[in-house]
Amino acid sequence: MGEKKIISVLVTGGEASAGAPLGPAIGPLGVNVLQVVNEINKVTADFKGMKVPVKVEVDQETKKFTVSVGTPTTSALLVKEAAIPKGSGKPNTELVGNVSFEKILGIAKIKINDSYAKSIKSSVKEVVGSCVSMGVKVEETDPRQFMVQIEEGKWDKAITDYEAKT
């Protein structure tokens, strides 16, 4: 095994191209850039339109490469679930979308491995925190008020039921 070189990039799921940032980073390593791009697009197809962290590991001797995919950012997942183009420019006064609590739970489950959260409830609070900064309602409620409901334990049963299902 030769020396390994790792390239980390943020790509739009299913839309990587041989241009920057990939081409210039991978080209000099002597691997086929198009093969790498095709592999990235294959493994990120589920995250269409979302920004996804990708690592390309290249063995400089054999020119073999592996592609590994991280999870999209919480904000990218929220934009997708709320079906909005982007978060609010004025999240304190302008709410731009809505997500169900079930979607929040789904995102919390995806993100818990990348987070410092020790429980799904903590992860849910992190995701709702992102809703606050993006101006996205949860269950048609202002995310700040929703956070209070979580603190008060109003959603504990839903969280417990969700954990039992997954």
Given its phi and psi angles, is residue 14 left (phi above 0), alpha (psi -120 to 50 degrees) or beta? left
| Statement to judge: residues 110 and 143 lie in one domain | yes
97 and 112 share a domain?
yes
Of 26, 46, 69, the position where a domain reaches its end is 69
Question: For position 126, which CATH number holds?
Answer: 1.10.10.250
Q: Are 57 and 22 in a shared domain? A: yes
Confidence band of 103 (pLDDT split at 50, 70, 90): very high
CA 91/CA 113 separation, integer angstroms? 27
Q: What is the pLDDT of residue 2?
A: 67
Nearest residue to 67 (alpha-carbon basis) of 54, 50, 51: 54
Residue 151's pLDDT band, with cuts at 50, 70 and 90, is very high
Mean pLDDT of 92-119: 93
Environment class of 94 (CB within 10 Å of its CB; exposed 0-12, middle 13-18, buried 19+): exposed
Alpha-carbon gap, residue 55 to 117, rounded angstroms = 24
- The total domain count for the chain is 2
Share of the chain above pLDDT 70, in %: 99
> What is the predicted pLDDT for the residue at 59?
93
Q: What mean pLDDT is predicted for residues 119-143?
A: 97
Task: Give the mean pLDDT of 104-111.
Answer: 94
CATH number at residue 39: 3.30.1550.10
What pLDDT digit, counting tens, does each position of 1-42 carry?
568 999 999 999 999 999 988 999 998 998 999 999 999 999
Give the pLDDT score at 97.
Answer: 95
Tokens of 46: 């589920």
Predicted local confidence at residue 116, as pLDDT: 86
Q: What is the 3-state secondary structure (H, E, C) of 2-54?
A: CCEEEEEEEEEECCCCCCCCHHHHHHHHCCCHHHHHHHHHHHCHHHECCEEEE
Whether residue 78 is found in the same domain as residue 128: yes
Q: Are residues 142 and 129 in the same domain?
A: yes
Query: Please, which pLDDT band fits residue 50 given cuts at 50, 70 and 90?
Result: confident
Q: How far apart are CA 154 and CA 71, in angstroms?
A: 29
Domain of 28, in residue numbers: 4-69
Instruction: State the pLDDT at residue 47.
Output: 87
Last residue of a domain, one of 44, 69, 94: 69
Burial of 58 (0-12, 13-18, 19+ CB in 10 A): buried
Average pLDDT over residues 107-126: 92
Q: How far apart are CA 160 and CA 90, in angstroms?
A: 33
**Where among 69, 96, 113 does a domain terminate?**
69
Residues 10 and 84 in one domain: no
